[in-house]
Amino acid sequence: MNINRLIFVVFCVFIAFGAVVARLFYVQIVKGDEYKFFAQRQQTSTQVIPAERGLIFDRNNVLLSYNKNDFSFYLDLKRVRREEDIDTLVKIFSRTFSKPVEHYYSLIKNSKRRVTLEKKVSGTEVIHLKEIKMNGFYFEEDPTRIYPYNNLASHLIGHLDVDLQGVDGIEKTLNTDLRGIDGKRVILRDANNNLITVQEGATIPSKPGLNAVLTINKTYQNILEEELQYGLEQFGGDYTLGILMDPNTGEIIALSNQRDYNLNEYNASSDSIRRNKALTDTYEPGSTFKSIAMSIFLEKNICSENEQIFGENGSYQFKSIKIRDSHPEGMMSLKEVFAKSSNIGMAKISQKIDGEEFYLAVRAFGFGNITNITLPGEVKGKLKNPMEWSAYSKSSLSFGYEVSVTPLQLVTAYSAIINGGILYQPQIVKELKNVSGNVVKKYEPKEIRKVISPTTSQKMREFLREAVEKGTGKKAKPVGISAGGKTGTSRKLIEGTYSRQHYNASFVGFFPVENPKYVLLVLVNSPSNSSYYGGDVAAPIFKKVAERIAELDESLWKFNTTTNNIIQMKNVSLETTYPNIERTRKIEKKISLNKTRMPNLISLDMREVVNILNKLNIQYEISGSGRVVEQSVEPGSHISKKVKCKVKLSQNVSIATNLY
């Protein structure tokens, strides 16, 4: 009996053992690969290593955009094992962020699984919160793009979306270069999903994005924005716009739309405000287009500088329409036609050129085509084919109607007019660098084509100077430096009809005339406070921007030709720092300028001296650099227009505390 029981027990053990072996065989051999796959999937995971986005700098390596390494904290409710853990976590977050516990309980109550406790956390809080060990609690890197100057160059730089991808401006067009390449790492976790280790051998490091160096100058950008904003407040309107370009390379030194927006809070602004109207919106340029037409007429020998044209006393019956001038004139020279912005004169000249020839010459300046600038949203404007022209199209085109342009196209064309005749592609990116500072890609000036000869270009510079000195652009004339330019006033086309209430007031100019270094377009859309003429509204903005730039760029002062004055630059240090306009005004006030007596210039610097002597209309000759140590005309003596004041500057001088 006992033997039978023993046999039965042994048999049962044998059967059980066989079953275990069979199960092990099934698990290890039959289902081994499948279970191994599921185990590895549960215990290991691949985690993305975000690439650090490249930085953005201005041409002088001023940082315009960078990244902040923030973290976001989450709670997976399905992995939480104890209710008291939630209570502890809520109290920690409430204490850390000074928020009531009810706030976090509400977040948890209204979530089914993943709860976002806090986003974009930085500083010491991150270190403290990272130390919390709790099932279901975890954090992720959540970098933030920072724009330290808020609104500065907002339409150029652009911004990112929530996924850190560029959606506008340089952030969009250079997104592939800036974003870099993400890496990945394989991590092992235990049954509670806690991190055990990282498999270093399987880690692929991320590759940082390239850094972009733009062509803009942050200081000049700020000047342009301030003066455009002041102009908007002074003259009213929907918006103001400005583009400052180097005519010899096509590089954009500054570009601004006012109203602008805060890049760090871009969602607070409408699509209309965020739109870069310098290249997305078109308008009929009006008289600023006369520079293009006149340069073509001169280049094609359609007219000569000695030609006399009758201005019809301001009203001209052309076929079945009347062309009028705002300033009635009789006989005019060709230069006067341009300087006084005569529509009648331009219309008469335009009848001498073949329509097809006129069209091709205008198109050569880039109108009707995009410029291919490295910015999104550019439109090509509209330049009708001669087959679509009416009997009035040539005359209309000669003074800036029946053509729609972007501000960028127009300032690019002006650059070609004044630089010797070369049309350049506008450029906003100077170079791309890697994290080590090595240049990966350099953007060289790109010559598109030659549109006019150097001789015609030189003539046009003089025509444009005349328009500022004696014509409609007098209010654009900056103190102390030479400038040329053209005003423009055009009716806005609203629902197919030219408005008599809404205008585009503009001015496009350059300085200095002798060796153009900057060309600047200013546009005021629908000025509403007083005058709507470009010469009254846009020209003064140009003047202020030019003077503030001249205050910082000493090289411009050697071309002071308005009073035959001389500034000897060979001994002048280019590192001289000039005071701002407000300081100069205070000095003038303290000196109490007397139009008949020579002021004491001792201890003043060059910018202050030039500004004061120009206001007094005194001829002068300046040598050296630094501050005034000698003046040939004694302080307090009677001012004579026949006498030239020689002023000597030196770096070795102490600044006087009292000004008389």
**Residue 87: helix, strand or coil by DSSP?**
helix
**Residue 489: helix, strand or coil by DSSP?**
strand
- If we measure between CA atoms, which residue out of 178, 180, 251 comes closest to residue 212? 178
Determine how β-strand 195-204 pairs with β-strand 183-189.
Answer: antiparallel
Residues with Cβ within 8 Å of residue 173, at least 6 apart in sequence: 166, 374, 375, 376
Residue entry with tokens 């630089």: 419
* pLDDT at res. 583: 46
Q: Are 607 and 578 in contact (CB under 8 A)?
A: yes
The structure tokens listed for 252 are 């954009």
d(CA 557, CA 565): 10
User: How many residues belong to the chain?
Assistant: 660
Tens of pLDDT, residue by residue over 218-240, are 999 999 999 999 999 999 999 99
d(CA 536, CA 543): 11
- If we measure between CA atoms, which residue out of 307, 282, 446 comes closest to residue 368? 282
d(CA 361, CA 355): 10
Tens of pLDDT, residue by residue over 293-327, are 999 999 999 999 889 999 999 898 888 889 898 88
From edge to edge, which strands make up the β-sheet containing 195-204?
44-49, 183-189, 195-204
d(CA 97, CA 263): 26
* pLDDT at res. 190: 61
User: Is the model more confident about 138 or about 411?
Assistant: 411
Section 231-258 average pLDDT: 96
Looking at the predicted structure, is the pLDDT value of residue 589 above 50? no
* pLDDT at res. 139: 84
From edge to edge, which strands make up the β-sheet containing 211-214?
144-146, 63-68, 56-57, 211-214, 429-433, 439-442
Q: Of the segments 30-39, 87-96, 271-280, which one has the largest average pLDDT value?
A: 271-280
Tens of pLDDT, residue by residue over 403-440, are 999 999 999 999 999 999 999 999 999 999 999 999 99
Least confident of 239-253, 322-336, 624-638: 624-638
Percent of the chain with pLDDT over 70: 87
d(CA 499, CA 494): 6
* pLDDT at res. 495: 67
Q: Are 509 and 503 in contact (CB under 8 A)?
A: no
Least confident of 41-50, 124-133, 370-379, 637-646: 41-50
Q: Are 393 and 402 in contact (CB under 8 A)?
A: yes
pLDDT band at 559 (very low <50, low <70, confident <90, very high): low
Alpha-helical (H) ranges within 44-132 are: 83-97, 101-109, 124-130
Looking at the predicted structure, is the pLDDT value of residue 42 above 80? no
d(CA 353, CA 294): 11
Residue entry with tokens 């002074």: 234
d(CA 406, CA 651): 47
- If we measure between CA atoms, which residue out of 601, 653, 659, 592 comes closest to residue 631? 601
User: Is the model more confident about 319 or about 373?
Assistant: 373
The structure tokens listed for 16 are 């059980």
Section 600-605 average pLDDT: 85
**Whole-model pTM?**
0.78
93, 116, 406 from 464: Cα distances, Å: 67, 62, 21
Instruction: Say how many Å lie between the first and final Cα of the chain, rounded.
Output: 134
* pLDDT at res. 194: 58
* pLDDT at res. 572: 35
Section 631-648 average pLDDT: 85
**Residue 107: helix, strand or coil by DSSP?**
helix
The structure tokens listed for 520 are 């600047």
For residue 573, which amino acid is it? S
Looking at the predicted structure, is the pLDDT value of residue 20 above 90? no
User: Is the model more confident about 163 or about 281?
Assistant: 281
Tens of pLDDT, residue by residue over 530-546, are 889 999 999 999 999 99
- If we measure between CA atoms, which residue out of 332, 329, 334 comes closest to residue 312? 329
pLDDT band at 40 (very low <50, low <70, confident <90, very high): low
Q: Of the segments 103-112, 160-169, 379-388, which one has the largest average pLDDT value?
A: 379-388
* pLDDT at res. 335: 93
d(CA 504, CA 404): 12
d(CA 190, CA 656): 76
* pLDDT at res. 200: 63
Mean pLDDT in the chain? 85
Q: Of the segments 3-7, 103-107, 247-251, which one has the largest average pLDDT value?
A: 247-251
Residue 163: φ, ψ to 5°: -95, 15
The structure tokens listed for 344 are 């009648």
* pLDDT at res. 584: 46
d(CA 567, CA 212): 38
Tens of pLDDT, residue by residue over 74-114, are 988 888 878 888 888 888 888 888 899 889 888 888 887 88
